[in-house]
């Protein structure tokens, strides 16, 4: 159906709502098979195929949805019995899926032992889902399902009831800040682009999500792509642009596929293109693929890439709002920032600003990864404490280990140690402790993580991804990495810490772009809170966490060794010798630190020094 007026949009919503009501009346089960990338990687596609082929009857309605955030339980399905909250099942197999369906159909009851939400109110405890509200709920490939949940009504309100400056003022009043980096006020950025002179302007979405451990934008695109399309059309109207581009990394095939389908549906129904809803406003949207360069997440490098040039940043000013894509005023936000816009327009700025803290409004999506039980996506109000995220939502540290630190902001961020677990997460608090919000990656570390090695990991990433344009980043990060390699291999020297700090200061002050300027942050942060670990590596030649392989030393405990020779038989370098039924010994000059002897010993006779 071609949607030409608000009445047409309401008609689509009415039809969808009536269809859902009819399913309830006829006692039809709704089964959501969660098929985000994480679900598909664990077999969700096979489950969906089996259920459609063998389970779909007149009494079931089986749909594909995106990731609901509980990645640690994939593959997931949700079964909704009319009049009851959803029953959510994790680690589902095709056989389990059919048994679950059979139980709901025949006995009108869930399979209790397979449920992961025995108390349905706890499934998103401490969370407030705004940008992720539809993820795992709707079929992302059906525009009707998005419209049924008020999709595109924010766009209709903007085009038919508001002037461009009204939209900008609403965003400014909401307090929304950019969710992709430093947290610049979104409404202010839109205003800069709106007031910039020029008849041709552009709206760009940065979907080049490159931080290690971050997958927030990907999940939004996979589970709710129409939200981004609607938001970008609203942005185009507000700043005076009739053309938008989504710059998405090619490594996101499922997100790309669903985004293409959503754009096609929006164009076909008249919600993209010429004279949208009879308002006279025209907006077109195209996709541009990134080749995986981390630096193209920086807005000026991204602009160069869209233009077909080498993805390198340039000096600012001028900022993109004044001179961006092809020299024209350009608005750039990331996926999560745009994803907040439709809800703000529908619910109002005061509603949104009532959530969060004084200077950080709304919610933030985090990708929980690392040493945490409940790996996945969460969305919490700004100001939620790190302890709540890690212990209550994340389930704590597995295997009885102790929390050591959490890295926020990815390679541009820093670590938060144990004594700061009660920090309220917002833009200003994170900056104050030497970290940053970034795009929302949150990597948890336990007592077995070496903080020097963690700093080396992130610096290795940024050094490898440096575009090489400016000397401070290209050479400075290389020299810092060489020092960290030396320290973690047991060759550290007394002046290494001072050299790291000196190099970091130069890189931060002299690099061209924000990625170079923030590259030393993981090193500075770990030096600030875990300096003793650096000193242990340098002066005692020991890694307190026993994580740096070249600094490990294995020894056989004489009183425990039975002389069984199992360790000697698995040693790849014949470093272990001895006589049968007598204690064996390890030649430290031959030992390659592989740890196979410790794994093989049944008597706990090998210790790690």
Q: What local confidence, expressed as pLDDT, does residue 264 receive? A: 98
Q: Is the same domain home to 475 and 434? A: no
What is the pLDDT at residue 121?
61
In tens, the pLDDT along 532-588 reads: 999 999 999 999 999 998 888 899 999 999 999 999 999 999 999 999 999 999 999
Answer with the one of 104, 122, 140 that is the final residue of a domain.
Answer: 122
Q: 476: Cβ–Cβ under 8 A, 6 or more apart, which residues?
A: 503, 506, 507, 511
State whether 342 and 409 are in the same domain: no
139 domain residue, yes or no: no
Among candidate residues 122, 141, 175, the one where a domain is terminated: 122
Residue 374 belongs to domain with CATH number: 3.10.20.600
Q: In this structure, is residue 145 part of a structural domain?
A: no
Contact 521, 564 (CB under 8 A): no
DSSP E strands, 272-391: 284-290, 330-334, 363-370, 376-381
- Same domain membership, residue 367 and residue 348: no
Q: Nearest CA to 153 among 341, 364, 350?
A: 341
Same domain for 337 and 193 = yes
User: From the CB of residue 471, how many other CB atoms can be counted at a distance below 10 Å?
Assistant: 13
Residue ranges of the chain whose pLDDT lies below 50:
none
Closest to 179 measured CA to CA, from 380, 34, 354, 44:
380
Distance separating alpha carbons of residues 310 and 302, to the nearest angstrom: 9
Length of the chain in terms of residues written: 609
Which CATH number characterizes residue 498's domain? 1.20.1440.230
The DSSP output letter for 212 is T
Could you say which DSSP state residue 411 is in? G
Residue 24 is assigned to a structural domain of this protein: yes
Residue 569 falls within a domain, yes or no?
A: yes
- What is the rounded end-to-end Cα distance, in angstroms, of the chain? 71
pLDDT in tens, 71-105: 999 999 999 988 888 899 999 999 999 999 999 98
Name the pTM for this structure: 0.93
Domains identified in the chain, total number? 5
Instruction: Give the integer Cα–Cα distance in Å for 10 and 254.
Output: 30
Domain that holds residue 280: 150-352
CA distance 352 to 74: 32
Whether residues 172 and 301 share a domain: the answer is yes
Residues 487 and 420 in one domain: no
Q: CATH number of the domain that 35 lies in?
A: 3.40.30.10
Query: Quick one: pLDDT at residue 450?
Result: 97
Residue 120, pLDDT score:
59
Alpha carbon distances (Å) from 301 to 99, 157, 178, 246, 297: 52, 34, 18, 14, 7
In a domain, 137, yes or no: no
Three-state DSSP at 155 gives helix
In a domain, 128, yes or no: no
Residue 545 lies in a domain: no
Which residues, at least 6 apart from 485, have a Cβ–Cβ distance to it below 8 Å? 456
pLDDT of residue 28: 87
* pLDDT (0 to 100) of residue 210: 83
The verdict on 287 and 344 lying in the same domain is yes
């Amino acid at each position: 159906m071609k949607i030409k007026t608000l009445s047409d949009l309401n008609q689509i919503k009415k039809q969808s709502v009536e269809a859902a009501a009819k399913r309830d009346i006829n006692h039809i089960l709704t089964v959501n098979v969660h098929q985000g990338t994480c679900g598909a990687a664990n077999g969700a596609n096979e489950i969906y195929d089996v259920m459609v082929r063998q389970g779909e009857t007149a009494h079931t309605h089986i749909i594909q949805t995106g990731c609901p955030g509980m990645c640690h339980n994939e593959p997931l399905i949700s079964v909704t019995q009319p009049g009851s909250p959803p029953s959510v099942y994790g680690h589902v197999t095709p056989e389990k899926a059919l048994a679950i369906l059979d139980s709901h159909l025949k006995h009108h009851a869930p399979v209790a032992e397979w449920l992961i939400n025995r108390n349905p109110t706890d499934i998103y405890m401490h969370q407030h889902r705004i940008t992720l509200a539809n993820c795992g709920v709707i079929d992302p490939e059906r525009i009707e399902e998005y419209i049924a949940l008020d999709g595109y009504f924010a766009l209709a309100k903007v085009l038919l009831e508001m002037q461009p400056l009204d939209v900008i003022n609403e965003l400014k009043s909401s307090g929304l800040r950019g969710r992709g980096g430093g947290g610049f006020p979104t409404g202010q950025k839109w205003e800069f682009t709106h007031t910039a002179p020029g008849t041709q302007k552009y709206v760009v979405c940065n979907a080049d999500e490159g931080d290690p451990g971050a997958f927030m934008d990907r999940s939004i695109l996979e589970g709710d792509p129409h939200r981004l399309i609607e938001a970008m059309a609203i942005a185009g109207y507000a700043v005076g642009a009739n053309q938008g581009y989504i710059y998405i990394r090619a490594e996101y095939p499922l997100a790309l596929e669903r985004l293409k389908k959503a754009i096609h549906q929006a164009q076909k129904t008249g919600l993209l293109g010429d004279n949208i809803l009879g308002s006279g406003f025209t907006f077109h949207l195209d996709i541009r693929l990134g080749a995986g360069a981390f630096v193209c997440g920086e807005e000026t490098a991204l602009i160069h890439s869209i233009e077909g040039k080498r993805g390198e940043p340039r000096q600012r000013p001028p900022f993109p709002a004044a001179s961006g894509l092809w020299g024209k005023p350009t608005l750039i936000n990331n996926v999560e920032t745009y994803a907040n816009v439709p809800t703000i327009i529908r619910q109002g700025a005061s509603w949104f600003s009532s959530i969060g803290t004084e200077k950080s409004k709304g919610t933030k999506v985090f990708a929980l990864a690392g040493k945490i039980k409940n790996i996945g996506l969460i969305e919490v109000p700004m100001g939620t404490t790190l302890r709540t995220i890690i212990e209550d939502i994340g389930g704590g540290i597995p295997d009885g280990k102790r929390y050591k630190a959490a890295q926020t902001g990815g390679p541009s961020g820093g670590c938060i140690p144990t004594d700061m677990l009660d920090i309220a997460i917002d833009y200003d608090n994170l900056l104050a402790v030497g970290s940053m919000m970034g795009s929302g990656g949150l990597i948890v570390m336990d007592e077995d993580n070496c903080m020097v090695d963690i700093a080396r990991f992130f610096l290795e990433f940024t050094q490898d991804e440096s575009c090489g344009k400016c000397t401070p980043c290209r050479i400075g990060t290389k020299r810092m990495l060489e020092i960290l390699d030396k320290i973690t291999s047991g060759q550290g020297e007394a002046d290494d810490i001072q050299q790291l700090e000196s190099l970091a200061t130069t890189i931060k002050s002299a690099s061209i772009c924000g990625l170079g300027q923030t590259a030393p942050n993981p090193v500075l942060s770990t030096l600030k809170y875990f300096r003793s670990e650096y000193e242990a590596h340098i002066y005692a030649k020991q890694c307190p966490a026993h994580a740096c392989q070249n600094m490990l030393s294995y020894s056989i405990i004489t009183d425990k060794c039975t002389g069984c020779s199992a360790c000697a038989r698995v040693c790849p370098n014949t470093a272990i010798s001895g006589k049968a039924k007598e204690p064996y010994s390890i030649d430290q000059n031959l030992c390659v630190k592989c740890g196979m002897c410790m794994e093989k010993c049944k008597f706990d006779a090998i210790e790690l020094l």
